[in-house]
Amino acid sequence: MDPKHCLVTGASSGIGKHIACEMVEKGWKVIAIARRADELNKLARLLGEDKLIPMVCDVSDFEQVKKTSTELINRKIIPSLFYLNAGNGDEEDENFDLDLHKKTFETNYFGAINWIDQWVPVLLKKEGGTFVGTSSLQSFVALPGSAAYGSSKAALNYTFESLDAMHYKNNIRFALIYPGPVDTPMLKTDKPIPSAWKPEKAAKYIVKKVLKGHMKIKFPPRWVLLLGIGKRLPRSFFRVK
């Protein structure tokens, strides 16, 4: 039997890199996507070049996603699982930054949707497949300094849930991961964040849940609880004094 293929975006670092390692460990062949070729090649050497295919692609650039997808199809590599994990997030201040909003949406929202555009028609002709979007617990509560990041993730939530309802009958699933703090370069902090998970732990948890068919995956538990409480608080609680 052919080995199963999965595609992981943002595989050069953090959560995505460890998802790639976990999936190889589980016997899958991984197509690893990111912009940094050196990091992807290092990972391929580590895990085995027959097990991980590095492909350089800027997910925010539709033409690059199209070219990469076409190359895979021409090589008869059809993933049945897509971890659409690439993302970025910059802290915002009082000066509204339209460019930052656009850049954040290009990566976090369109960087996932571009793949869906390319692969849903392919999966409709096959026996289906699963897209796993990496959202954030932050998408539940509008925090100051997170207007671009939080809204890009909230948009992803809506699109994935809507597409899931549409394509359930076609055996195409759209699952969502909602991480709280995970100790990766994205956190950009020198101080340890309490109860943050290591990316290895996050990836193990994600892969276990995804392979069991879970559709909403939230962690770490303490932050799920905290953000759950935050969601019920009045808007005035979050106002910057």
Ligand X SMILES: NC(=O)c1ccc[n+]([C@@H]2O[C@H](COP(=O)([O-])OP(=O)(O)OC[C@H]3O[C@@H](n4cnc5c(N)ncnc54)[C@H](OP(=O)(O)O)[C@@H]3O)[C@@H](O)[C@H]2O)c1
Give the shortest CB-155-to-ligand X separation in angstroms. 13
**Helix pair 62-74, 110-125: axis angle to 10 deg:** 30
When asked if residue 36 is in the footprint of ligand X (CB under 6 A), the reply is: yes
When asked if residue 34 is in the footprint of ligand X (CB under 6 A), the reply is: yes
Give the shortest CB-171-to-ligand X separation in angstroms. 26
Integer angstrom CA distances of residue 97 from 91, 94, 102, 162: 11, 9, 9, 29
Query: In which order are the strands placed within the sheet that holds 129-134?
Result: 52-56, 29-34, 5-9, 81-84, 129-134, 172-179, 216-219
Report the 10 Å Cβ neighbour count for 157.
17
Residue selected from 4, 42, 47, 88 as contacting ligand X according to rule CB under 6 A:
88
Size of the residue set binding ligand X (CB under 6 A): 30
When asked if residue 35 is in the footprint of ligand X (CB under 6 A), the reply is: yes
Residue among 85 and 151 whose Cβ is closer to ligand X? 85
Q: What residue ranges in 64-215 does DSSP mark as E strands?
A: 81-84, 129-134, 172-179
Give the shortest CB-213-to-ligand X separation in angstroms. 21
Residue selected from 69, 134, 146, 151 as contacting ligand X according to rule CB under 6 A:
134
Strand partners, 52: 30
Give the shortest CB-164-to-ligand X separation in angstroms. 19
When asked if residue 14 is in the footprint of ligand X (CB under 6 A), the reply is: yes
59 and 39 Cβ atoms separated by less than 8 Å: no
CA 122 – CA 128 distance, rounded (Å): 9
Residue selected from 60, 68, 104, 146 as contacting ligand X according to rule CB under 6 A:
60
Which of these ranges, 117-125, 164-172, 183-191, 231-239, lies near ligand X under the rule CB under 6 A? 183-191
Written as one letter, the residue type at 160 is F
When asked if residue 159 is in the footprint of ligand X (CB under 6 A), the reply is: no
CA 64 – CA 172 distance, rounded (Å): 24
Give the shortest CB-108-to-ligand X separation in angstroms. 6
Residue selected from 172, 182, 207, 227 as contacting ligand X according to rule CB under 6 A:
182
87 and 134 Cβ atoms separated by less than 8 Å: yes
Binding site for ligand X (CB under 6 A): 9-10, 12-16, 34-36, 39, 58-60, 85-89, 107, 111, 134, 136, 179, 181-182, 184-187
